[in-house]
Structure 1
Amino acid sequence: MLQAQKKKWLPLGLALAMTAGVPFGASAAEEKSVAVTAIVEHPALDAARDGVLDALKQAGYEPGKNLKWQYQSAQGNNGTAAQIARKFVGDQPDAIVGIATPSAQALVAATKSVPVVFTAVTDPVGAQLTPSWEASGTNVTGVSDVLALDKQIELIRQIVPEAKRIGIVYNPGEANSVVVVKALKELLPTLGMTLVEASAPRSVDVGSAARSLVGKVDAIYTNTDNNVVSAYEALVKVGNDAKIPLIASDTDSVKRGAIAALGVDYRLLGEQTGRIVVRILNGEKPGDIQPQTSDKLQLFVNPGAAAKQGVSLSQALLDSAAEIIQ
């Protein structure tokens, strides 16, 4: 009788934990929820997403156990990004991760209360995600993939020493690309070089935009523009056919046919972002966390692409590469 009475009054949380086969203390109330959205799927952004999940797992948050994990891609459509943002905000997760500028902007427009963590965003201040590079005091923080453009130009000169006219294909509707184009317009003339622009508002426009540069440029530089990266093979075809060297800032693009890239490891960028998410899940306010950048740049080189695009690479450049794509 006494045993039955004790069983009857067993605390509900412990009874549920025992029923579910989970350790005492890991009750349903402790489950956390993280939603992730990206403007489009391509290798760099996918790597960032996977890095976020890696960091959560390393901190003990496992999907299906104590973590509700949601992911949706906007497939390159800003309207879809806004719909996903509203849906995720309505779900009231513990944090939402916005991968790339358009998705992060959609989230920030949709909520002033749910924690938002951006990643793979070049200029969070210019994109109006945060008022400055200091802790914002808002519901927003994150990690930028901003790169020092002087190092990018130095890489172009190592590959094409005589280059004077640098082409760029970009989406004028993507804030991070507009920032880079503006900065290049200011920087290149100081180095005796000029920028030649080609607009690609949609990913299907990348090939025709690249063809418009044939005969007008000595090399094409690509930043982390999501339209361009998602359709990089179209750019590579033009580069190979017209013998125009392609230099990227996204290391995954080297595997797809660029000659070289000095860029961020997006898996590591995602892990860095995930560690911020963990801090929020553990009780910190996003507005108290200063936006971060990555200083883990890597040089990837593709000698086969160089041969197809009409240039030879120095041994010094090859020796300095973190990875050589064969």
Structure 2
Amino acid sequence: MRWLEPNRGGATAMSALFQYQLLGSSPAFRKVRLQIERIAGIDATVLIEGETGTGKEMAARAIHYLGQRKDCPFVPINCGALTEHLIESELFGHERGAFTDAKTMSGGLIQAAHGGTLFLDEIDSLGHKAQAALLRFLQDGMYRRVGSGKIQQANVRVLVASNANLLQLAEDKKFRKDLYFRISVLSLRMPSLRERTGDAVELAEIFVSRFARHYGRDKAKLAPESVAYINSHEWPGNVRELENAVHRAFLLSDSPRIVLPDVAETAEADSPRAVQGFRAAKVEAVRQFERSYVLQIMNETGGNITKAARLANQDPSAFGKLVRKYRSDLQA
């Protein structure tokens, strides 16, 4: 769910950071925001690292819209959602007839991002052939469409992201070291929620307010016991996990008090069976909806996660995790 659309007409630094949910008052996150503002003004390749759910794409968008390319396209691509034989075609485009399914010519994402920013998420999932092709492009901005002998040139700023330790992968010869040095001209590390003291509760309250406006439940408020739970939980999925947990608790709540499910199960252990049964039924209903929706949309797109995520208006990485959750049903 996208709460705020980018202001492409000269947003201030603070408004751009707000638009991409880069919110938090902890010293660790204030430092990151300052780094983003500084990096945005330097037109160079940036490597954004951090655990899953720390906001790497949001940081990339903020860097783009705070920079001099803000009026040109921001084009994201999830490398992990593409097969090895498709990545070069997606990036560089292809000529008609270049391969079996190439029924028309495609300019590719680099052409689409001309003048703007190309964001490559999960870059560690690229195979060695695709890494070599990307390295050649980064060296001089020159590339060829698949099936073409004509050299193209593009003026594109490249931002990349990974939740893996790319330097270690390079040392282990699982990622090209020369490509690592090329993409890490500038680097930014997004801190985990565990490192952002106090930010989890601040973000949870913001999420509740936004859900309340979206669903028309103005009196909704985070319950005190939920605050204690949020402060004590590790949040391995970071901000994405926190937002999903709050969203789920909001939808399952029968009162203005928003109680995260884990807390609700503990607090209501002595409640009548009818209440527990009702809550369990709602949880099961949500699970059945997810399963049915994933099966339907994956069937409609022939199993293409990128297309399915686009139709569902979801981030490909997050949608991919949902697909993996119901993988056994898809293979049945």
Q: TM-score, normalised by structure 2?
A: 0.28
Larger Rg: 1
Q: TM-score, normalised by structure 1?
A: 0.29
Counting strand residues as a fraction of each chain, which structure ranks higher? 1
